[in-house]
Chains A and B, each alone.
Chain A
Amino acid sequence: MNVDILNRTGLQAASMSKLAIADCDIHPRPAGVGIGGVSKSLYPYLSQRWIDHVEEFGITYRQPWEKGSAYPKGQPQACRRDAFLPDGRAPGSDLRFMAEQHLDPNNIALGILNPLTSGQGATNPLLSDAIAHATNEWQKAEWTSRDRRLRASVVVPYEDAAASVKEIELRAGDPNFAQVLLLSRTNEPLGQRRYWPIYEAAAAANLAVGIHAFGNGGWPNTAGGWGSYYIEEMVGHSQSQQALLTSMILEGVFEAVPNLRVVLVEGGLAWAAALGWRMDRQWAKLKRELPHLKRAPSEYIKTNVWFTTQPIEEPEPRTHLAEAIDWIGWDRVLFATDYPHWDFDDPAHAIPLKLTEAQKQAVFLDNAKTVYRQA
């Protein structure tokens, strides 16, 4: 989504894209499924009981539509037009095509897969569990085992912590997986205790926890009711991420699981400093309500939380973005493209700032290696 990008001073040279890059948000999708529904590509990894169920009853979420997502997207399937396969198959459904269009030309050395049509938040928790498990098998069989640049996310049915823990334990120690994946719009704020076993299991397995925008928790997407437009939903992912991060910090998740690594994906990053200031200012007055917090709330952001860049904020002038990152620290920032979605950030142009060599190395590769424990 790089509009209005030309004729600026301080743009990265085009050769930037030739550096080895970690892309921390890539979306593979089983062929033959749009948003909603269950792809037949997952059938090899589902039991007959769930195949029969899906064939007859489909899959439902806390939103209105049998097909498609809550708000009509800006583009079909929210994807780049050029990411559809020549035969019409879904964007992100074919490894070779993805490699030729994205991984090879952009020199992606490490790509984190975040499958989104994976049954997470489905109204039926047992079905959610089955689809999540199948999605993990599918990622391993059809993606990570075939391309060593890619790492899978352990998709978990997060509304059922016990089932999620089982799935995480199954993947512990498997180098195909680099993180546990949650969506941001859950049934309750993610700091609440019902979700803590997921964090404990992820930390025990030395896996980061990625929390990607979207999901269907059933609550209106604003404190003042449902927005009307897709743009409200998209901008609103930042408010959901702020809310869940506030919840995780104030509930004491990072005191209970101090080695937990959380990656917030696709919700922006420039807001993090101001949220930290607001939490700290209120905590100073209200801390007797939160005796379990040993540090100021913003401190946990600096030790336990990372942010992916896409969609990177674009202030005027762009130097303001550098100041916003200074406030949280450059070690918190992970580059991401969101391939194959319409608002893809091109690594050659996405961060139109004059970065130092150290900042480039950190944002485009090293921070990701650290958080995902990749050598």
Chain B
Amino acid sequence: MTNPAPIDCDIHPVVPGLAALLPYLDDHWRETVVRRGIEDLTTIAYPTRNPLSFKQAWRDASGRTGTDAATLGRQALDPFGTQLAICNCLYGVQAQYSEDLGAAFARALNDWVAKEWLDRDSRLRASIVVPMQNTEMAVDEINRCATDRRFVQVMLLVGSDVTLGRRQNWPIYATAQRHGLPIGIHAGSMYRHPMTPVGWPTTFTEEYVNQATAFQSQLTSLIAEGVFAKFPDLTVVLMESGVTWLPAYLWRLTKFWKGLRSEIPWVSDPPTSIVRDRVRLTLQPFDAPPEASSVMRLIDHIGSDEMLLFSTDYPHYQFDGDSPIPDGLDKALAQKIMAENPLKTYARLKEREIVP
């Protein structure tokens, strides 16, 4: 039984520098960048020289990689025989304090992705980057990009300004649902708040480990506020969230839902069922237990074979060796993860003949 050609649901084209976006900014914003000396929007989520930001073997002379489609194809797609891959561009447009700057950079980034990446490799698809600073602007950007059917998802960052379940975000979900786009929540932050509920971490390692707790809180928010009930056709994908925290989190949440559901009466289904039906997670990092034998026990605790989506998280350094599939994962499940689950999650991935 050969594995199907994988669909990579989390890869990261790297913006070589702000100059790359200048052609995609209109005159006012191009002049703003030059006149004010805005240098770069790489955030502290993935510092350039940090071991996690780029796998060492992939780095070029600049210390980075993945800044053009040919390199990404050669390093991230060819070796795995990848048929399709979703580009999640991480460039700090969401961290700008000015919503106008955020919106201008988001537009430029999405146009740059379409032109420099999607046009150059037919295997590539992308998530729409939105200015999370302002819901109306985010909705405008979704509507603007969604006509290009190579955009298959709306991307938000887990470190938001207000919790993602809150009603002020709902127009984003309504728009995504209308276009048949899942909401992908990716690691990273607007940096309005620390990555932990108890203050700013000291080290990169601490910050990165805590991103998993941020995903947990956002899932609680989306469920408690009733997003899944209000938008019955919406799928939420957690990207680079870690995976193995999920069961224990759901056990606690479901227990408290039993005790406190009078506070949130619109949540009529147990959170565990909601999550199994409506939430998906990309594979890397999996945060696997040390013994391969524990991996399938953990999968058993998750209680679904439809939730995991293949990902390499290229160019981030998440796995050693040639395979992103964790040791101990059952072969039949690995097969589903490769392509079947991604195709079920992203309606637009089934449209192979795409005219932009």
Contact across chains for B199 and A283 when beta carbons are under 8 A apart: no
At the interface, yes or no: A70 with Cβ under 8 Å from chain B? no
B96 CB within 8 Å of chain A: no
Residue in contact with B203 in the complex, picked from A3, A230, A290, A323, CB distance below 8 Å: A290
B-chain residues with CB within 8 Å of residue A224 when the two chains form the complex? 158-164, 193, 214, 217-218, 221
| A189 with B201: CB separation less than 8 A | yes
Contact A274 B245 (CB under 8 A): yes
Are the CB atoms of B248 and A268 closer together than 8 Å?
yes
Query: Does any Cβ of A come within 8 Å of B317's Cβ?
Result: yes
A270 in the interface, Cβ–Cβ < 8 Å? yes
Option from A3, A74, A320 in Cβ contact (under 8 Å) with B247: A320
A231 touches B287 (CB 8 A): no
Judged by a CB distance under 8 angstroms, whether A359 is at the interface is no
A229–B317 Cα distance when bound, in Å, is 37
Instruction: Note all chain B residues with C-beta closer than 8 A to A238.
Output: 216, 249, 252
Chain A stretch 285-327: residues in CB contact (< 8 A) with chain B: 285-286, 288-290, 311, 313-316, 320-321, 323-324, 327
- Specify which of A225, A247, A278 is in contact with B287 (CB 8 Å cutoff): A278
A223 lies within 8 A of B199 (CB): no
The reply to whether A281 and B287 form a contact with Cβ atoms under 8 Å apart is: yes
Q: Which residue of B lies closest to A250 (CB)?
A: B206
Given that A223-B189, A270-B252 are contacting pairs, would A189 and B196 also be in contact in the complex, using a CB cutoff of 8 Å?
yes
Which residues from A are CB-within-8-Å of B218? Answer: 222, 224
* Most chain B Cβ neighbours within 10 Å, of A184, A246, A279: A246
Nearest to A268 among chain B residues (CB) is B252
A244 CB-CB contact with B under 8 Å: yes
In the bound complex, residues from chain A placing their C-beta under 8 Å from that of B244 are 274, 277-278
Find out whether the CB atom of B206 lies under 8 angstroms from the CB atom of A223: no
Chain A neighbourhood of B189, CB < 8 A: 223
Find out whether the CB atom of B294 lies under 8 angstroms from the CB atom of A222.
no
User: B263 on the interface (CB 8 Å rule)?
Assistant: yes
Contact status A246-B160, CB under 8 Å: no
For B248, list chain A residues within 8 Å (CB): 268, 270-271, 273-274, 313, 324
- Say if the beta carbon of B264 comes within 8 Å of chain A: yes
B209 A232 Cβ-Cβ under 8 A: no
| CA–CA, A72 and B212, complex, Å | 27
Q: Are B193's CB and A270's CB within 8 A?
A: no
In whole Å, how far is B336's beta carbon from the nearest beta carbon of chain A? 22
The interface-forming segment of A29-37, A126-134, A213-221 is: A213-221
- Chain B residue numbers with a CB within 8 Å of A275 are 209, 212, 245
Contact flag A221-B301 (CB < 8 Å), given A311-B256, A327-B289: no
A313 — which chain B residues lie within 8 A by C-beta?
Answer: 248, 251-252, 255
Q: Which of B161, B201, B290, B317 contacts A280 (CB 8 A)?
A: B290
CA distance A334 to B163 in the complex (A): 33
Give min CB distance, A165 to chain B, whole Å. Answer: 21
- In the complex, what's the smallest C-beta–C-beta distance from A242 to chain B, in angstroms? 5
Q: Is A282 touching B221 in the complex (CB atoms < 8 A)? A: no
Docked Cα-Cα span, A229 to B257, in Å, equals 12
Q: In this assembly, does B288 line the interface, its C-beta being within 8 Å of a C-beta of chain A?
A: yes
Could you say which of B192, B213, B247 contacts A225, with CB atoms under 8 Å apart? B192
Residues on B with C-beta less than 8 A from A4 are 258
Assess the B51–A243 pair: CB atoms within 8 A: no
Query: Is B294 within 8 A of A225, CB to CB?
Result: no
Cβ A217 vs Cβ B251 within 8 A: no
- Are the CB atoms of B287 and A277 closer together than 8 Å? yes
Q: Does A227 contact B (CB under 8 A)?
A: yes
B205 contacts A282, C-beta separation under 8 Å:
yes
B52 on the A face (CB < 8 A): yes
Taken together as a complex, chains A and B put the C-alpha atoms of A227 and B256 apart, in Å, by 15
Contact for B317 among A228, A242, A285, CB less than 8 A: A285
The yes or no answer to B300 lying at the interface (CB within 8 A) is yes
Q: Does B323 lie at the interface of the complex (its beta carbon under 8 Å from any beta carbon of A)?
A: no
A314 and B256 CA atoms in complex are apart in Å by: 10
Residues on A with C-beta less than 8 A from B260 are 74, 230-231, 234
Please tell me if A188 contacts chain B, counting CB pairs below 8 Å: yes
Complex contacts, A200 vs chain B, CB 8 Å: none
In the assembled complex, A65 has its CB within 8 A of some CB on chain B: no
23 residue pairs from A and B, CB less than 8 Å apart: A74-B260, A189-B199, A217-B197, A222-B221, A223-B193, A223-B195, A223-B210, A224-B160, A225-B162, A230-B263, A231-B224, A231-B260, A232-B163, A240-B197, A246-B209, A273-B248, A277-B290, A278-B287, A286-B52, A288-B51, A311-B256, A314-B255, A320-B247
Q: B-side interface residues toward A, CB under 8 Å?
A: 50-52, 158-166, 189, 192-206, 208-214, 216-218, 220-221, 224-225, 242, 244-245, 247-249, 251-260, 262-264, 272, 285, 287-290, 294, 297-298, 300-301, 317
**List of 8 A-B pairs having minimum Cβ-Cβ separation, nearest first:** A222-B217, A270-B248, A223-B214, A243-B196, A313-B251, A224-B160, A239-B213, A278-B287
